[in-house]
Chain A
Amino acid sequence: MTRLSSLRSALDRKGYREVAVREWRSSVVLEGSLPSWNDRVAAGFVAAGFKYKGVVNDLEVPGLARDRWSEPSLRDGALEGAHFDVVIIGGGIIGASIARELTRYDLSVALLEKQSDLAMHTSGRNDGMIHDGFGARPGTLKARYNVRGNRLWTEDARELGIELKRPGSLVLYPSPAAHLLRPLLSKRARANGVDGWEFWSREKVAREEPALFPEQHGALFLPSAGVVSPYKAVVAYAESAVLNGARVSLDTLVSGFDQEQEADRTRIARVRTNRGTCFARAVVNAAGNWADVVAGLADDRFFSLHPRRGTDAILDLSTGAFLKHIVSMPSFLQSRSRTKGGGLVKTVEGNVLVGPTARELPGREDYATTRGELEELNRHLRLNTRLSPSQIITYFAGVRPCTWEEDFIVERSQQVANLVHAAGIQSPGLASAPAIARDVAALCVDLLSESRQVRPNPRFEPRRQAPTSLGQLSLEERSALIAAHPAYGRVVCRCEQVSEGELVDALHSPIPVSSLDSMKRRTRTGMGRCHGGFCTPRVMEIIARERGIPLEEVTKKGEGSRLLEGPEEPADPPATAPQGEEVSS
């Protein structure tokens, strides 16, 4: 039986007779329609079992409109005619870390992001965990990149001034018999190359993590697991890239490529955007949940993504006192399960974060939360006797970009000579980013070297000065700073103790942004227990003053999200549309 006919009968056995299958290049394409999203997902997973290069799931679900990306309405010519050695599509952790890696070379690099700020999608909506690498299935790219990325985070965090903590992760045994699995656990840790692991008795767990529920049975301890602030990390990488000569263009949507035929392959000559068409010698697809669509723009959609939503809750800062490690209690028997199942994480800021959940849902940018998903998180809260749902100060959802094979794609395109994909970067994508970035940069250098020698950037400065954060200073240093710059002595956000000086710094940083949410991501204003109830007016006034705009033009998260009524927002031409931020050094 051929591979295709085996797949056919597998689908038939599931009752998916109406699904049409065909091979296309090295991939398989599913077409037709199925009654529900769950069926569509199930069919995708069936196809993934047949070892094609990729599964292109084009099945439709009646009544469900095609998912569309959000687009900036800005139209200008900021990029028109510009020449770049590398154009990177997507300003998440992957795109930003790749941009910074590429500035180690003497190359002109542009990072294009369709939103009004970086990290507005998955990279700003996750657990911030630098996984140890134990959870990934041995032999996968995920396992390899995770372990390498985990190690590289130490160096990158130091150079970029990113706060990285390594509290280690406690994986609690779900039953008293689980300690029998120790040899298996060791084998897996060894196979993945995890940096150190220990088995802790229930007494040791109780001693080291006293607030845990008393009925635990001991744990596997993974000391290399860490946490960072994910959105601050993205900003740090991108700022470093800008300081080393890269250009970051926000509000910039890549909508197409002009390609040239070249023997058996094609080559992207120009990248079309709403801000003009630019030239690129190499293109990196780091478009997160839209990476398959972007690949399709180059006629290289050999895979497809399915969005998997995760919901997290954040507890009051005071809860940080009750948790020292990252804690989870997964079922070991589900070694093939598609998520790590979530748990309790203490964020770098010290709040307890609970989650994430995992749900297959159609919207790639749908971050709506539901009561049901939030209630699912209670099972993690029960792991710790001092935590309860009443301590929740906020919750959010993010969407993982998953391939049907459930692994990362980090490779040069087989069809397009100058395209590199960093796609399907689901969890542990944040942990893996430094390693993925190095490999993607190396792939770009390889392909650029085919036409011209690539030299190192003699002016590359690995260190980035982290923004001043008063909380990190001693009282004496703080006082001295205030004496020199009184704005640091005016506290704007009471819950997180953020000063006016820190806000002004963020507004004049290498990637200046000006929405309320972008200020949150950089300074944490409004992220505390009052959730902006008190500081919002002040933050808005400071943004308006520093940007020289009327108060009513301050937005929550860019275009269309004004906070106050003002003179009508003219629909066309968008005179008051967000100023696409354009940065280069």
Chain B
Amino acid sequence: MIPRTRWEVVVVGAGPAGLAAACAAHDAGSRVALVEREARAGGILKQCIHDGFGVVRFKEKLTGPEYAHRFLMMAEERGLAVHRETFLLSARRENGRFVLVLESAGQGVFEYETPALVLATGCRERTDRQVSIQGDRPAGIYTAGLAQHFVNVQGRLPGRRAVILGSGDIGLIMARRLTLEGVEVAGVYEVKSEPSGLTRNLRQCLEDFDIPLHLSTTVTEVHGKNRVEAVTVARVDGSMRPIDGTEQRIACDTLIVSVGLIPENETAASLGVPLDPVTKGPFVAQDMMTLVPGVFSCGNALQVNDLVDYVSETGETAGRAAAAWAKKTEKDEVGEASRDPRRLIAVRAGEGVASVVPQFLDAGGERRAPVFFRVKQTMRQGTVCLARTDGGSQVHRRRHLVLRPPEMERFELDLSRLPEGTAEVRLDLAPVEAKRAGAEGSVEEPRKAVGP
């Protein structure tokens, strides 16, 4: 027999999202288990030793490990144990509850049963194969996160002369980190016509170190039988296809790929949780509950975040809601609760908007709902507007000086402003008409450059 323990809330993943969720669920009175497969809690923050974490929440610029430490202390104060080196083998539904099959060196295989499951599993990196880099397969090709682990955790250098593909924040931060460690960074290449990282990082990580950034250019091929000897870079056309004749060979022994993150949702998918094809995370309402009642999602598993403060915020929301759900379904032994009690209003990404989270609003739920969104293209002087799809009243409207795809935006919605019977709302972005620009009331400050 596989031993089984019952919990009110189980949180999977002890990164900043999971730690926040576990603390919040505990504070709401639940018996919580927090499981983490690694030997140390903190998630990816453990290796992010640069500063800029926590500006929103703590009004301080902490390093990743410092930020994680604050949450670890919070967990400790509450007597919350992290079940470390505990691996989730599989999850299934049983009578409206969830049974997790787990494994650890100390306990072997065991099961946790819970009515409320919070998935805070973070994300993984896209690899060189997912951006179709061709050529040889030597040593010396690393994702940025792997290189970051080598340098910041193991204290080793991945090579002597590196080319970085991708201008996202992790790539930019690695460009600086490697330079500081004496690795020559030959250049950062970005397939898009705009950099993907935050402006602050472009300045502080590239410009300050004279590292060239090549836009609309990609790495097409790797050369070298055993160790990377060079890469071929080429300019790309409007549809991001390499342009023949623009190839250039760049000598290097290391290629760092920083080409995006993918939320890890294999467990969610195995439980039948529907995923948003854009964010690659589950569809959720403002309580962070997915469309499978009892399963919650937060942090980078929900969507790729650029600010850890928002990660903690969604974690707390999920933890609180999970505790409430556990209480509500306490006496339910037959799985009645697997029916979704929420009255869901769909939130659509409209004109110019790439993604919105939450994708649903529970009309009977929490009144104040933070809404996160990303735009498709950079826009200066734009108005963001949330309104009923059928042309009804606007619930939110705000002007922005500049909106950029890499930066996730957040606003708070007051659900009481939603008219009764609303079925769907849509978030649209429109340029501010020239004549009216400046005429309207307050213009939002451009977001402070914070976080990495």
Using a CB–CB distance below 8 Å, which chain A residues touch chain B? 70, 318, 365, 367-371, 374, 392-396, 475-476, 478-480, 482-483, 486-491, 494, 497, 516, 529-534, 536-537, 551-552, 555-566
Contacts and interface: CB of A to CB of B under 8 A. Distances in A.
B85 A560 contact: no
Contacts of A482: 103, 105, 108-109
Contacts of A475: 2, 101, 109
Nearest to B129: A394
B179 interface: no
Contacts of B368: none
B193 interface: no
B104 A489 contact: yes
B203 interface: no
15 contacts: A368-B221, A374-B134, A475-B101, A479-B110, A482-B108, A482-B109, A494-B37, A494-B87, A497-B87, A533-B127, A537-B150, A537-B153, A557-B139, A561-B139, A565-B160
B157 A565 contact: yes
B143 interface: yes
B87 A491 contact: yes
Given A479-B2, A494-B37, A537-B150, A564 B158 contact: yes
Contacts of B127: 393-394, 530-531, 533
Contact of A563 (B101, B104, B134, B158): B158
B225 interface: yes
Nearest to A470: B103
Given A537-B150, A551-B156, A392 B129 contact: yes
A216 B376 CA distance: 39
B138 interface: yes
Contacts of B154: 537, 551
B136 interface: yes
B134 A536 contact: no
A539 B159 CA distance: 19
Nearest to B136: A368
Contact of B105 (A368, A490, A557): A490
A367, A482, A551 — most chain B CB neighbours (10 Å): A482
Contacts of A516: 139
B232 to A, nearest CB: 11
A396 B137 contact: yes
B146 A537 contact: yes
Given A479-B108, A480-B108, A490-B105, A562 B129 contact: no
Given A482-B103, A489-B106, A533 B124 contact: yes
B136 A367 contact: yes
A480 B3 CA distance: 13
Interface string B85-124: 1010100000000000101111111100000000000001
B15 interface: no
A476 B146 contact: no
Given A374-B132, A486-B105, A533 B156 contact: no
A369 B1 CA distance: 49
B269 interface: yes
The 7 closest A-B pairs by CB, nearest first: A479-B108, A556-B139, A560-B226, A489-B105, A486-B105, A561-B139, A561-B226
Nearest to B141: A556
A369 B108 CA distance: 43
Given A497-B89, A561-B138, A562-B139, A483 B108 contact: yes
Determine chain B's interface SS by DSSP, over half rule.
mixed
Given A70-B225, A562-B139, A529 B134 contact: no
B88 to A, nearest CB: 9
Contacts of B103: 478, 482, 489, 491
Contacts of A367: 136-137
Given A370-B134, A392-B130, A489-B103, A479 B109 contact: yes
Contacts of B101: 475
Contacts of A559: 226
Contacts of A479: 2, 108-110
A565 B149 CA distance: 14
Contacts of B106: 486, 489
Nearest to A395: B129
Contacts of A365: 225
Contacts of A370: 134
Contact of A533 (B104, B146, B160): B146
A561 B158 CA distance: 12
Nearest to B133: A369
Given A318-B269, A494-B37, 16 more contacts: A371-B134, A392-B129, A394-B127, A476-B1, A479-B108, A479-B110, A489-B104, A532-B146, A533-B145, A534-B146, A537-B149, A559-B226, A560-B226, A561-B227, A563-B140, A565-B156
B125 interface: yes
A564 B225 CA distance: 16
B392 interface: no
Interface residues of B, number: 47
Contacts of B160: 565
B108 A489 contact: yes
B135 interface: yes
A365 B138 CA distance: 13
Q: Which of B105, B140, B149, B160 has its CB near the most chain A CB atoms (within 10 A)?
A: B105
B150 A564 contact: yes
A70 B138 CA distance: 14
Interface string B29-72: 00000000100000000000000000000000000000000000
A414 B221 CA distance: 45
Contacts of B158: 563-565
A557 B225 CA distance: 10
A231 to B, nearest CB: 15
B399 to A, nearest CB: 36
A479 B2 CA distance: 8
Contacts of B107: 489
A565 B142 CA distance: 14
B301 to A, nearest CB: 14
Nearest to A535: B146
A399 to B, nearest CB: 13
A368 to B, nearest CB: 5
Contact of A368 (B130, B135, B139): B135
Contacts of B129: 392-395, 531
A369 B134 contact: yes
Contacts of A494: 37, 87
Nearest to A471: B89
Nearest to B123: A530
A478 B105 contact: no
Contacts of B104: 489-490
A259 to B, nearest CB: 32
A490 B159 CA distance: 30
Contact of A529 (B1, B89, B124, B150): B124
Identify which of A367, A394, A482, A533 gathers the most chain B CB atoms within 10 Å of its CB.
Answer: A533
A218 B139 CA distance: 46
A561 B224 CA distance: 10
A110 to B, nearest CB: 26
Contact of A487 (B87, B105, B136): B105
Select the residue from A318, A395, A556 with max chain B CB neighbours within 10 A. A556
Contacts of B1: 476
A535 to B, nearest CB: 10
B139 to A, nearest CB: 4
Interface in B184-239: 220-221, 225-227
Contacts of B225: 70, 365, 560
A526 B415 CA distance: 46
Contacts of B150: 537, 564
Contacts of A374: 132, 134
Contacts of B140: 563
A371 B132 contact: yes
A489 B136 CA distance: 35
A531 B132 CA distance: 14
Residue of A392, A531, A552, A559 with most chain B CB atoms under a 10 A cut-off? A531
Interface string B264-302: 001001000000000000000000000000000000000
